[in-house]
Amino acid sequence: MAEKPLKLVPVEARPFNAETPMQALAEPLTPIHLFYVRNHFQVPRIKAETWRLAVDGAVMRPHQMSLKDLQSFPERTVTVTMECAVPATSGARDPSLPPLSHEWP
């Protein structure tokens, strides 16, 4: 009998949050479709034609980029280590601190 393909483990539907299945962590690289998902809020609906990303603050040249501008950059693959920086999932969060924008189950 063939093994079932691995899928993300849903934690919440709205906003969508999901865990990488434990079996996938046995490999040195996590496939993109199994990478954990963390959202504090719903994914915004945008109009791609009019949406802009403002690059300002401590930059030499404040400017804006469209979605098309961002998509025009060449793709690049880089192997990195990433982890969720919110310790609330492990119960390690200090309860005396103000609440996060979203508490994890």
Q: Please state, in angstroms and rounded to a whole number, the distance separating the CA atoms of residues 52 and 66.
A: 5
Q: What is the pLDDT of residue 99?
A: 56
By the 10 Å C-beta count (0-12 exposed, 13-18 middle, 19+ buried), 89 is classed as middle
Q: What is the pLDDT of residue 52?
A: 97
Please write the tens of the pLDDT for every residue from 41-98: 888 899 999 999 999 999 999 999 999 999 999 999 999 887 766 555 555 556 666 5
Please write the tens of the pLDDT for every residue from 70-79: 999 999 999 9
pTM for the whole thing?
Answer: 0.61
Q: What is the pLDDT of residue 74?
A: 97
The answer for residues whose C-beta is within 8 angstroms of residue 3's C-beta and 6 or more apart is none
